[in-house]
């Protein structure tokens, strides 16, 4: 289970949000677990040998999946949750937390992962979305979720739905940092704009964010009203929930959950750059295991992440690379943009 022997008192101390502001008690524990990963690197791994490389390098967690995103892009087809035997093999061989991916909106996959005892679920746009309208109701689960976002509105919706961690979507498997930078800058810009608003302005933004939940009704050609979502009715309670998150954002000057960077990180300098932009940690997979020397690259990215503001340490990390980083792709050449999935 995701607690892994950590005391309730320890978890409470790691969560900034006041208990009374959380929508249910388990949110406190789930956000606390996510905060424990702060400042670290989470690595995609496809087998026990890669999990050992990640753990030895000092990764705070691993993401168990059958193919790193670069191979998912290359192979095409429908990308689904990894086979339970593969995930169990990773769970059995490592002492650090293990995460796994479920398709956007796929409650069935998420339930399987929860029953297996993974520590966190990534509702991931890297896999083929299962629901074109809604994400998973993450509040209904006992384990924490991480979700991607390209802007503040998307991030707030995912937090309202129960996400305990947000990550930039980036463009996974490309070795190209530009999308992750774009999303980090956009979220930060929109947070600063929220801080400039009065109560009327916050209410206007609340209505803008809630409007996205009408996506299914808007797609219907039938008359009549049925303002329901997997997260409850589109009503004043939902608006109040969204507004309370926005007020937290305004007060804190950041998202009320930990925010990691993901998608396109391929060098230690990339990791340092995203941390200097205010990210709480780094997801990386293809950038390590598609390099010519994965073990050294893993060590180097962990070093650069831990010492992101120390130019000498980042230089040391860059100098550790004996081989070449992954080749990478220009975004204009991509047939599928993952970051446009699941708004």
Query: Which residues are known to be catalytic?
Result: 101
User: What count of other Cβ atoms lies within 10 Å of the Cβ of residue 140?
Assistant: 15
- Three-state SS for 63? strand
Which one-letter DSSP state was computed for residue 331? G
Q: Which residue has the tokens 């998202």?
A: 255
Contact 61, 89 (CB under 8 A): no
φ and ψ at residue 64, rounded to 5 degrees: -85, 120
Contact 283, 313 (CB under 8 A): no
Chain centre distance of CA 18: 22
Instruction: Give CA–CA dist 127/124, Å, rounded.
Output: 6
The dihedral through the CA atoms of 287, 289, 290, 296 has a sign that is positive
What number of helices (H) and strands (E) belong to the chain?
Answer: 15, 10
Cβ neighbours for 333, distance < 8 A, ≥ 6 positions apart: none
CA geometry: angle 57, 285, 156, nearest 5 deg? 110
Residue 201 to residues 204, 207, 253, 288: CA-CA distances in angstroms?
5, 10, 16, 44
């Amino acid at each position: 289970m995701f607690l892994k022997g950590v005391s309730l008192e320890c978890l409470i101390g790691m969560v900034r949000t006041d208990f009374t502001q959380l929508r249910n008690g388990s949110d406190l524990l789930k956000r606390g677990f996510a905060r424990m990963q702060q400042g670290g690197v989470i690595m995609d791994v496809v087998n026990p040998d890669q999990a050992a490389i990640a753990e030895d390098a000092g990764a705070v967690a691993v993401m168990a999946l059958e193919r790193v995103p670069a191979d998912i892009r290359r192979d095409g087809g429908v990308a689904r949750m990894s086979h339970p035997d593969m995930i169990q093999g990773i769970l059995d061989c490592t002492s650090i937390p293990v995460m796994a991916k479920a398709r956007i909106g796929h409650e069935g996959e998420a339930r399987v992962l929860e029953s297996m005892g993974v520590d966190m679920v990534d509702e991931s746009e890297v896999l083929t979305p299962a629901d074109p309208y809604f994400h998973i109701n993450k509040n209904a689960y006992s384990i924490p979720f991480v979700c991607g976002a390209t802007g503040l509105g998307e991030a707030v919706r995912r937090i309202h739905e129960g996400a305990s961690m947000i990550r930039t979507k980036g463009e996974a498997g490309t070795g190209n940092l530009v999308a992750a930078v774009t999303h980090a800058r956009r979220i930060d810009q929109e947070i600063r704009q929220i801080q400039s608003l009065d109560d009327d302005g916050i209410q206007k933004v609340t209505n803008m964010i809630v409007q996205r939940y009408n996506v299914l009704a808007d797609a219907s050609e039938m008359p009549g009203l049925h303002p329901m979502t997997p997260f409850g009715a589109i009503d004043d309670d939902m608006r109040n929930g969204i507004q309370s998150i926005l007020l937290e954002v305004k007060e804190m000057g950041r998202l009320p959950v930990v925010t990691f960077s993901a998608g396109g990180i391929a060098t230690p300098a990339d990791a340092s750059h995203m941390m200097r932009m205010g990210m709480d940690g780094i997801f990386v997979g293809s950038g390590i295991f598609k390099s010519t020397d994965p073990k050294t690259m893993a060590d180097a990215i962990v070093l650069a992440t831990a010492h992101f503001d120390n130019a000498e340490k980042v230089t040391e990390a860059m100098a550790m690379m004996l081989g070449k980083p992954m080749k990478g792709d220009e975004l204009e050449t991509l047939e599928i943009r993952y970051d446009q999935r699941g708004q």
